[in-house]
């Protein structure tokens, strides 16, 4: 039995794509291994969002090449493939830069992997590169999805039309496409039948979903959420990543009326400064963003928010940065992801004047993170003493311990029988830190 090893970088969409690739390889008779040296086929599913992510890939490729040489001394062949956004951005460069990559497929063509593998394994010794933006949807050619445990990802939309000036996604994932409503519902039912209790709907711009229903009518995310809400056995629904300007009244109503919709929403603002938001080509300013937060809170006062932040965007002044800190104080995020601006080749911001010094970026990131971590810690500590329903997803570091997530995506561990893996259990929160909670079982 041939063995394969997959390493995934980056976002949840890549995790989902890697899971679909694994399903295809299993169907071809391959078996997954987590030991690189055992693998006959090594696949890297890549992220191009920041420089560091790309460099990580090339150092992992170098390490894998050494393993390939060791295996060759034992008479074993090893095939190396690269998937994802770095391929779409770098194209043939991947093969040229390494000289030992056998195939490279963009994020929209990995459904062609079985044919390409057959060629690579038997015929050709030239690297096969496929970075087409295909007419056909890969979802129509993938084997049926399978449950990923208590919580499963489900991609409903791909690509983005927003062209934020710092972002590579529109160039690597293409224009926005949405999957038909009935395909999404069918996949959701398969996941629930397979034991999934929570579905996380994925899209680079998930709330601009516009899939067709069975009558060819265009439907939005609110419609889809209401349809998913009807699925028996599905206990929790989440969706990510949203674009503030695409939050409409119907979606806000969903946060009021759909109990299965978790009270946690990731709504990236990136910067609190209107001047910087304009330079980023974001279709909203800070007061429009805060107005959306206020309307969501009116609909559901228990909603907790997270966001993405970029500090040190070209032209960012101290006053711009202060505006970002002010937004954080107004929203009091329960979680957040914050980064220094990273120049991405081919994006408009990369050639903008007034690039901010690395030292200043670093200082601002520290200040911002101190504030964000403080709100996150306070929110977690306010949960101590409460009873929360936890979906346990993995085994903990200690024996007899499981790790799961609360409705607010808080990490929580507790001493629970492993029979409750992929189950929802009521837990009393006993203690909290910035990154996690711990608790005891109340009711199973
Ligand atoms: S909305 Fe998100 S994915 Fe789309 S271009 Fe902007 S940052 Fe990138």
**Tokens matching residue 369:** 């993170």
Dump pLDDT digits (tens) for 154-192: 999 999 999 999 999 999 999 999 999 999 999 999 999
In this structure, the residue with its CA closest to atom 8 of ligand 1 is 167
Residue 114 Cα to ligand 1 midpoint, Å, equals 31
Reply yes or no on whether the pLDDT at 97 is more than 90: no
Alpha carbons within 13 angstroms on the beta-carbon side of residue 414 total 32
Q: What is the pLDDT of residue 231?
A: 98
What crossing angle do the helices spanning 249-257 and 286-299 adopt, rounded to 10°? 30
Q: Is 78 exposed, middle or buried (0-12, 13-18, 19+ CB in 10 A)?
A: buried
Dump pLDDT digits (tens) for 187-206: 999 999 999 999 999 999 99
The answer, yes or no, to whether any atom of ligand 1 lies below 6 A from the CB of 244, is: no
Pairing between strand 401-405 and 411-415? antiparallel
The answer, yes or no, to whether any atom of ligand 1 lies below 6 A from the CB of 163, is: yes
Distances (CA, A) of 171 to 90, 92, 230, 342: 11, 16, 36, 16
**Tokens matching residue 375:** 């709100």
CA distance 6 to 82: 10
Q: What is the pLDDT of residue 361?
A: 98
Q: Tokens 């989902």 label which residue? A: 16
- Looking from the CA of residue 173, the nearest atom of ligand 1 is 3
Reply yes or no on whether the pLDDT at 91 is more than 90: no
Reply yes or no on whether the pLDDT at 444 is more than 70: no
Q: What is the pLDDT of residue 1?
A: 64
- Looking from the CA of residue 167, the nearest atom of ligand 1 is 8
Sequence-separated (6 or more) residues with CB below 8 Å from residue 354? 314, 315
Q: What is the pLDDT of residue 122?
A: 77
431 vs 443, residue with greater confidence: 431
- Looking from the CA of residue 270, the nearest atom of ligand 1 is 7
Q: Is 161 helix (H, G, I), strand (E, B) or coil?
A: coil
Q: Which of 410, 312, 296 is nearest to 356 (CA)?
A: 312
Single pTM value for the model = 0.94
Residue 309's pLDDT band (cuts 50, 70, 90): very high
The answer, yes or no, to whether any atom of ligand 1 lies below 6 A from the CB of 167, is: yes
Q: Is 183 exposed, middle or buried (0-12, 13-18, 19+ CB in 10 A)?
A: middle
Please report the beta strands in 156-207, taking only residues with DSSP state E, as ranges in sequence order. 157-158, 177-178, 198-202
Helix (H) or strand (E) holding 187: helix 181-193
Residue 98's pLDDT band (cuts 50, 70, 90): confident
Mean pLDDT check: name the lowest of 133-137, 242-246, 332-336. Answer: 133-137
CA distance 317 to 329: 19
- Looking from the CA of residue 204, the nearest atom of ligand 1 is 3
Q: What is the pLDDT of residue 418?
A: 92
Please report the beta strands in 106-184, taking only residues with DSSP state E, as ranges in sequence order. 128-130, 151-155, 157-158, 177-178
Reply yes or no on whether the pLDDT at 400 is more than 70: yes
The answer, yes or no, to whether any atom of ligand 1 lies below 6 A from the CB of 169, is: yes
Quick one: average pLDDT of 311-318?
A: 98
Residue 301's pLDDT band (cuts 50, 70, 90): very high
Contact 178/220 with Cβ under 8 angstroms?
A: no
Dump pLDDT digits (tens) for 212-239: 999 999 999 999 999 999 999 999 999 9
Give the count of beta carbons closer than 10 Å to the beta carbon of residue 112: 18
Reply yes or no on whether the pLDDT at 368 is more than 90: yes
Quick one: average pLDDT of 113-138?
A: 88
In 207-356, alpha helices (H): 221-229, 249-257, 274-279, 286-299, 318-331
The answer, yes or no, to whether any atom of ligand 1 lies below 6 A from the CB of 11, is: no
Q: What is the pLDDT of residue 111?
A: 95
Reply yes or no on whether the pLDDT at 344 is more than 90: no
Contact 376/333 with Cβ under 8 angstroms?
A: yes
Quick one: average pLDDT of 24-28?
A: 95
Question: Length of the chain in residues, anyone?
Answer: 444
Q: What is the pLDDT of residue 197?
A: 98
Greatest mean pLDDT among 168-177, 370-379, 393-402, 414-423 = 370-379
The answer, yes or no, to whether any atom of ligand 1 lies below 6 A from the CB of 164, is: yes
Mean pLDDT check: name the lowest of 45-59, 224-238, 280-294, 300-314. Answer: 45-59
Residue 160 Cα to ligand 1 midpoint, Å, equals 6
Q: What is the pLDDT of residue 94?
A: 85
Pocket residue to mutate for ligand 1, from 10, 85, 158, 162, most atoms within 8 A of Cβ: 162
The answer, yes or no, to whether any atom of ligand 1 lies below 6 A from the CB of 204, is: yes
Residue 180 Cα to ligand 1 midpoint, Å, equals 22
Q: How far is CA 330 from the centre of its chain?
A: 26
Give the count of beta carbons closer than 10 Å to the beta carbon of residue 284: 18
Dump pLDDT digits (tens) for 319-331: 999 999 999 999 9
Residue 49 Cα to ligand 1 midpoint, Å, equals 10
Mean pLDDT check: name the lowest of 143-147, 255-259, 350-354. Answer: 143-147
């Amino acid at each position: 039995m041939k063995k394969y090893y997959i390493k995934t970088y980056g976002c949840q969409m890549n995790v989902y794509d890697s899971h679909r690739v694994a399903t295809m390889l299993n169907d071809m008779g391959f078996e997954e291994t987590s030991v690189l040296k055992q693998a006959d086929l090594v696949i890297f599913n890549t992220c191009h969002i920041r420089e560091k992510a790309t460099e990580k890939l090339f150092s992992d490729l170098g390490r894998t090449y050494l393993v390939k040489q060791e295996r060759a001394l034992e008479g074993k062949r090893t095939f190396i493939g690269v998937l994802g956004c770095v391929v779409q951005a770098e194209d043939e460069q991947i093969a040229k830069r390494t000289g030992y990559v056998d195939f490279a497929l963009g994020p929209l063509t990995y459904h062609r992997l079985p044919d390409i593998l057959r060629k690579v394994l038997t015929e050709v010794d030239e690297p096969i590169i496929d970075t087409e933006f295909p007419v056909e949807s890969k979802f129509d050619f993938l084997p049926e999805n399978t449950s990923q445990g208590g919580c499963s990802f489900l991609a409903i939309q791909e690509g983005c039309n927003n062209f934020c000036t710092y972002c590579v996604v529109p160039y690597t994932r293409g224009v926005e496409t949405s999957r038909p409503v009935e395909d999404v519902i069918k996949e959701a039912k398969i996941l629930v039948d397979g034991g999934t209790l929570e579905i996380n709907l994925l899209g680079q711009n998930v709330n601009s979903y516009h899939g067709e229903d069975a009558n060819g009518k265009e439907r939005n995310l609110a419609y889809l959420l209401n349809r998913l809400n009807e699925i028996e056995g599905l206990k929790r629904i989440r969706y990510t990543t949203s674009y503030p300007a695409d939050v409409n009244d119907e979606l806000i109503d969903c946060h009021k009326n759909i109990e299965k919709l978790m009270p946690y929403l990731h709504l990236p603002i990136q910067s609190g400064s209107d001047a910087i938001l304009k330079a980023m080509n974001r279709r909203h300013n800070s007061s429009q963003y805060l107005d959306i937060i206020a309307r969501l809170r009116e609909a559901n006062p228990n909603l907790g928010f997270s966001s993405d932040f970029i500090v040190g965007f070209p032209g960012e002044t101290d006053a711009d940065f202060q505006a970002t800190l002010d937004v954080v104080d107004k929203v009091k995020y329960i979680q957040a992801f914050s980064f220094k601006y990273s120049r991405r080749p081919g994006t408009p911001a990369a050639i903008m004047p007034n690039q901010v010094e690395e030292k200043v970026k670093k200082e601002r990131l520290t200040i911002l993170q101190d504030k964000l971590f403080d709100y996150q810690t306070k929110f977690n500590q306010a949960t101590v003493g409460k009873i929360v329903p936890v979906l346990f997803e993995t085994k903990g570091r200690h024996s007899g311990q499981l790790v799961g997530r609360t409705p607010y995506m808080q990490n929580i561990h507790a001493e629970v029988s492993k029979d409750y893996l992929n189950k929802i259990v009521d837990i009393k929160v006993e203690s909290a830190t910035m990154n996690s909670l711990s608790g005891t079982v109340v009711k199973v």
